Amino acid sequence: LSALLNSLQMGFRTLAIEKRSSDVWKLLGAVKTQFSDFGDLLDKTQKKLKEASNSIENASRKSRVIQRKLRDVTSLSGKEAVAMLGKDAGGEENETEISEE
């Protein structure tokens, strides 16, 4: 009788372990699906970051072109620039003047 009860107890433990194992596999399947979606999101984010980086690079390139074109233009003093453009024109006040070549 004791052996039969031990056998039944082991059987129930095995069933419980199998059920938990099944639950764990289902959970891992859900995690795998979500992780795949997360990977796709990372790829999209990386693409957008590259686009933003390229956009900044293009803006910097255009800024350098404009600076080259303006190289020969005489700068106004900070006070004169503020008087013409107003305080909120932005940028740092630059008191140096670029001489004409």
Q: Residue 73 is encoded by which pair of tokens? A: 């233009």
Supply 85's token pair: 């453009």
The answer to whether residue 44 is domain-embedded is: yes
Give the residue among 74, 82, 81 at the shortest CA–CA distance from 100.
74
Residue 11 lies in domain: 2-72
- pLDDT, one tens digit per residue, over 6-60 is 888 898 899 899 999 999 999 999 999 999 899 999 999 999 999 999 999 999 9
Q: Which helix (H) or strand (E) holds 2?
A: helix 2-69
- What is the count of structural domains for the chain? 1
* Residue type, position 99, single letter: S
DSSP state of 91: S
The model's pTM: 0.50
The distance between the two most distant Cα atoms of the chain, rounded to a whole number of Å, is: 111
Please state, in angstroms and rounded to a whole number, the distance separating the CA atoms of residues 55 and 50: 9
Answer yes or no: is 94 within a domain.
no
